[in-house]
Structure 1
Amino acid sequence: MQQLPLIAGADSRHALDALFINAPLRDYELRPRTNDYTLPVLGMAYIATYAQQRGFNVGVLDAEAHGLSIGATARIINEAKPRWAAMNLLAPTYEMSARIADQLEAGIALMVGGHHAKAMPDRVLADPRMRHLRALVLGEGELRVAALLEDEQSRRTLPGVLWRDQLLGTRAAGIPTDPKTGAAILSPDINSLPYVNRAFLPQDPYQAAPTATDRRLAGQRLWLGGISPQGHWEANIVGSRGCPYNCTFCGAAVSANPDITIRVRRPENIIGELDQLHDEYGVTAFRFVDDLFLGVGRVIDEQMDAFTRNRIGDRYVWDATGRINVLDRLIDADLHRLVTNGLREVALGIESGSDRILSAMDKRITAEMTERVARRLVAHGVGVKGYFILGFPGETRPDLDATVQHIRNLWAISDQHPGDVRASVFEFRPYPGTPVWQALTDERGYAPDDLLAYGDVDLTRDGADESMRQRDEFNFSVGIQFGDVPLYEVRSTLAMLTREQHERNQGELGKAA
């Protein structure tokens, strides 16, 4: 087999059993990328790693990470000639994925999975551009993808695998012969899965410069965890699967995923991966990207007990997502233990400064609670990265103004403490299968085709060029005004806040230098 550029993790000496493709968010032939880093496709890498362990030759083509065009992505797949092409379908990238699939050569079988495939399987199966589709996998795919690579006919007994009968034109589905085995296939034991082979991820681990929080805490924390002024290596990691919460806009909402069993990795399993990444790549900083690592009190206690026993805080630093209402219940001793064990930054889904909108989102928090939690975190030297949504359905101008003021309040709080607050602001986008999607289609009468009309938005025109550069991949929209504020004002507010955050970042780095 010829050496093919941009395909990660494959053995170029042998034919490919499967090529896993992460489609680009837009056709980069029309407008090139402006950012140079994108989040790694950990879920896809898990599936590729498991298939590789089972003896299959697989690779990953991350077209988003490489900023590829639709045509270039299809050409690379066709030149690689895999037995299977596998795609993760997401609502914002579905159109890109379908256009790539439409250009695949006839000898390449197609399998798909991902949130969009799960939320709208019949729509995907009926798409004529998906004519090569031979398996649509609902939910976690490690075991079923490996079975399909072993024998395509196994789909007949695999639960949660769909395809279209070519003769009858009807939907067909696998029926497990043993219901107990079928349930185990749908929710694999995450502690028995192999650690992700990072060869499948072109940008993870990655070399990172110290953050403003790192620099501000240099004297107090003595560069614990190997964070140095010269830079360090970071990696993303998953500590659990599933989420018990029901935020109405989120694809992970529990009501949208009744089939998902919530599971947390054993602390020893997680620590083993941290040490493996350090030994192999020199990684000293980690980011837990799952919802539960700091989202359930019991999980926090169990993980921190193990981190203390293994002196993790003496060797590494780490960031994690957290739930505001859970963190609000922690006492100062709990926060001190988190810091001692290496916690550097918490990502919080703050979303809005309006309690009315927070209630509509089913966030189970208030703006006052968020400010209280942020104050305690930054006082302990922990950074806060807050995510915010503008233009949520029903949002009024006072709601939007409350969010702007909320962000500025959080900045003012951080100015008085060693920890930093960063605001990351997004335009609302509806995702199929979520509670808010159901409300928009069933109660407000929006057509699914209109809600799926994703397009990229060039917000640099709002005078935020450099501040938008590193978040280019997130600037997309369906172009619908869902609240009372005109869409152009929502976007102008987004650009204004992003520009102000960028200026704060530059100022923090200047003060700490």
Structure 2
Amino acid sequence: MQQLPRLSGADPTRALDALFVNAPLRDYGRRPRTNDYTLPVLGMAYIATYAQRAGFNVGVLDAEAHGLGILETAELVNAARPRWAAMNLLAPTYEMSARIAARIDPDIALMVGGHHAKAMPDRILADPRMANLRALVLGEGELRVAALLEDEQRRRELPGVLWRDRLLGTRATGIPSGRPNPQLLGPDINSLPYVNRAFLPQDPYRAAPTEADRRLALSRGTDPLRTAARTGHLEANIVGSRGCPYNCTFCGAAVSANPDLTIRVRSPENIIGELDQLHDEYGVTAFRFVDDLFLGAGRVIAEQMTAFARHRIGERYVWDATGRINVLDRLGDRDLDRLVQNGLREVALGIESGSDRVLRAMDKRIDAAMTERVAQRLVRHGIGVKGYFILGFPGETHDDIAATVRHIRNLWAIADSSPGEVRASVFEFRPYPGTPVWTTLTDAGHDPEGLLAYGDVDLTDDGADESMRQRDEFNFSVGVQFGDVPLAEVRSTLATLTREQHQRNQSVQGAAA
């Protein structure tokens, strides 16, 4: 195999068994990307790492991270000439994936997985652009992908693997002989190898120093943190668990959308082993837990923090994590102190709305008062809060959106008198197939074709608006008004809040300097 640009993790001296392709959110050949960083494809890298450990030569082509267009992505796949091209299908990127697939050499077998593949398998199998689709893998793919790379005919005995019979034109399904191995569908995550970061072109990455870093360095007095306060941390993303017990109606991870998924949390020792491995190999001193459960269950928090304290994690590293507001609301001040002592820097919270009526429709199991109470306690302990918000949710009124705007500004005001910061990240509502709200919308008469018509929305003014530039990858929409508020007003409110947050970021960075 020739050395190809933008191919991550493959051995160029051997023939390529599989190339894992992360499609771009839009065709960057038509409008170049403006943001500098995108989230790494950790799920794809887990599968690639497992396949590599099984002896296969595999690589990752992250077209989103590299800002590639459809044509360039397909040309790179064809030039690499893998036996298999594998794609993770998401609703916003499905059109991009299908257009790339249509351009791939027919001698290259196609394999797909991901949330969209799981939610709409028959639609994908029937798509003529997916004519060379030889395996659609439902759910977690590590063990079954490796089995398919070993022998395509094994698909007949693998559970949760679909394909279309070319002769009969019918859907074919793997049928295990005897009792299926449950590990095939949900592997023991403590037995999986640590992700090979060679597959991730943007992880680890260098992050600019923040005011939170400066405060932590002063309070801890440890050399690695003092250095990071001046130069910025080398940071890496990490997964601490799989599955979510909640049923937020808009979320692809909702428990009702994944009845086959067993919730599993990595052991503290397994997680700490990866933290230390990333530090020893790359010099990483900051980590971001991107899964739902790391700060999403009291028992898990207690177990992890006991191990973190034993290994003196807080003296060596800092970390951010997602959290559940209702769970954090039950923690005492000593619990929050313990989180800080163990290195917690920021918690990402799915706040979503300032309207209790909308929160009930989302099945969030929180209210605005709880969010303000939790945020106030966190920032007073010096823990930053990153709040995610949705505008344009089905049935949302002008009063509901006004409540969300007030809510965000109340949270900013709370942070202004506290050592911790509050950052607001606001998104336009987008429906995802397989989620509870998708069923609600289609039952109400919405055409699935319209709900799948994702397109990018340029809120950056061709990159000129600095406040929008770094979130450009998230500005996409199906162009449907789901609530009472016109889309133009939803986007205007989103832009206003984003610009205000950008101004706050600039003032904090100025103070830190």
For the criterion TM > 0.5, the same-fold answer is yes
Deviation at 1:450, TM superposition (A): 0.1
The DSSP-based 3-state class of the residue aligned with 1:143 is: helix
1:176-191 to structure 2, matched below 5 A, reads: 176-181=176-181, 183-191=182-190
Q: Alpha-carbon deviation of 1:463?
A: 10
CA contact 1:25–1:93 (8 Å) conserved in 2: yes
Query: Aligned partners of 2:420, 2:245: CA distance in 1, in Å?
Result: 29
- Shift, 1:217, TM fit: 4.4
What CA distance in whole angstroms lies between the structure 2 residues aligned with 1:223 and 1:398? 49
Alignment of 1:204-353 (within 5 A): 204-222=203-221, 226=225, 227-353=228-354
Residue aligned with 1:384, SS: strand
1:93 aligns with 2:100: no
Cα-Cα RMSD: 1.2
Q: Matched residue of 1:24: which SS?
A: coil
The equivalent of 1:60 in structure 2 is 60
CA shift, 1:461, in A, is: 4.0
Checking the alignment, whether the CA contact within 8 Å between 1:225 and 1:285 is kept in structure 2 is no
1:512 to partner: Cα distance: 2.1
Contact 2:220 2:315 (8 Å CA) reproduced: no
Q: Distance in 1 between matches of 2:293 and 2:178?
A: 31
* Conserved? CA contact 1:205–1:283, under 8 Å: yes
What's 1:435 paired with? 436
Distance 1:179 1:466 in 2: 56
CA change 1:30–1:292 in 2 (3 A) is same
Deviation at 1:222, TM superposition (A): 3.5
Rounded to whole Å, the distance in 2 between the matches of 1:481 and 1:179 is 48
**Is 1:146 aligned with 2:142?**
no
How much has 1:213 moved relative to structure 2?
2.3
CA displacement 1:417-467 (0-9 Å, x = unmatched): 00000000000000000000000001x200110000000001124998101
AA of the residue aligned to 2:81 = K
How many positions carry a matched residue from both structures? 511
Q: Which whole-Å CA distance do the structure 1 matches of 2:123 and 2:213 have between them?
A: 47
Displacement after TM superposition at 1:61 (Å): 0.0
Q: Does 1:486 align with 2:458?
A: no
Name the CA distance, whole Å, in 1 between partners of 2:186 and 2:286: 29
Summarize the Cα distance change of 1:501–1:222 in structure 2 as closer, same or farther, 3 Å threshold: farther
Question: Separation in 1 of the partners of 2:56 and 2:136?
Answer: 20
Q: Relative to structure 1, is the Cα distance of residues 396 and 318 closer, same or farther in structure 2, using a 3 angstrom cutoff? A: same
Give 2:376's aligned amino acid: R
What's the secondary structure of 2:269's corresponding residue?
helix
Q: Quick one: structure 1 residues 224 and 370, their matched pair in 2 at CA, closer, same or farther if it must change by over 3 Å? A: farther
Aligned equivalents of 1:212 and 1:493: distance in 2?
A: 28
* Cα deviation 1:375-416 (Å, max 9, x = unaligned): 000000000000000000000000000000000000000000
SS in 1 for 2:249: coil
Change in Cα spacing, 1:51 to 1:483, as seen in structure 2 (3 Å) is same
Structure 1 residue 223: Cα displacement: 6.1
**Can you list the C-alpha shifts for 1:290-331, whole angstroms capped at 9, x where unaligned?**
000000000001100100111000100000000000000000
Deviation, 1:180, is 4.1
The secondary structure found in structure 2 opposite 1:229 is helix
Q: Answer yes or no: is the 8 Å Cα contact 1:387–1:423 preserved in 2.
A: yes
* Alignment pair present for 1:22 and 2:22: yes
For 1:44-59, list aligned pairs within 5 A.
Answer: 44-59=44-59
Distance 2:374 2:206 in 1: 30
User: 1:453-468 maps to which residues of 2 (within 5 A)?
Assistant: 453-461=453-461, 465-468=465-468
1:509 Cα offset (Å): 1.0
Aligned-partner Cα distance in 1 for 2:150–2:271: 30
For 1:474 and 1:178, the matched residues in 2 are separated by 45
Amino acid at match of 2:43: G
> Residues 348 and 386 of structure 1 are in contact (CA less than 8 Å); yes or no, is this contact kept in structure 2?
yes
Alpha-carbon distance in structure 2 between the residues aligned to 1:208 and 1:166: 50
1-side partners of 2:328 and 2:449: how far apart? 39
CA contact (8 A) 1:224 1:313 kept: no
Distance 1:317 1:405, change over 3 A: same
Structure 1 length normalisation: TM-score? 0.98
Counterpart CA distance in 2 for 1:179 and 1:424 is 46
Match for 1:352: what amino acid? S
- Match of 2:432, SS state, is coil
SS state of the match for residue 29, structure 1? coil
SS of residue paired to 1:48: helix
3-state SS of paired residue (1:283):
coil
Q: 1:225 to 1:239 in 2, by over 3 A?
A: farther
Structure-2 separation of matches of 1:176 and 1:53: 24
How far has the Cα of 1:228 moved from its partner? 2.4
Q: 1:231 Cα shift? A: 1.5
Matched, 1:174 2:174: yes
1:414 aligns with 2:415: yes
- Please give the alpha-carbon distance, in whole angstroms, between the structure 2 residues aligned to 1:29 and 1:462: 14
Name the CA distance, whole Å, in 2 between partners of 1:339 and 1:457: 39
- 3-state DSSP class of the match of 1:347? strand
Alignment check: 8 A CA contact 1:225 1:313 kept: no
In structure 2, distance between residues paired with 1:151 and 1:213: 51
In the TM superposition, what whole-angstrom CA distance separates every residue of 1:333-388 from its partner, at most 9, and x where no partner exists? 00000000000000000000000000000000000000000000000000000000
SS at match of 1:459: coil
Go from structure 1 to structure 2 and tell me whether the alpha carbon gap of 1:126 and 1:22 turns closer, same or farther (over 3 Å shift): same
Q: Which amino acid aligns with 1:494?
A: L
**CA separation in 2, counterparts of 1:185 and 1:312?**
33
Percent identity between matched residues is 80
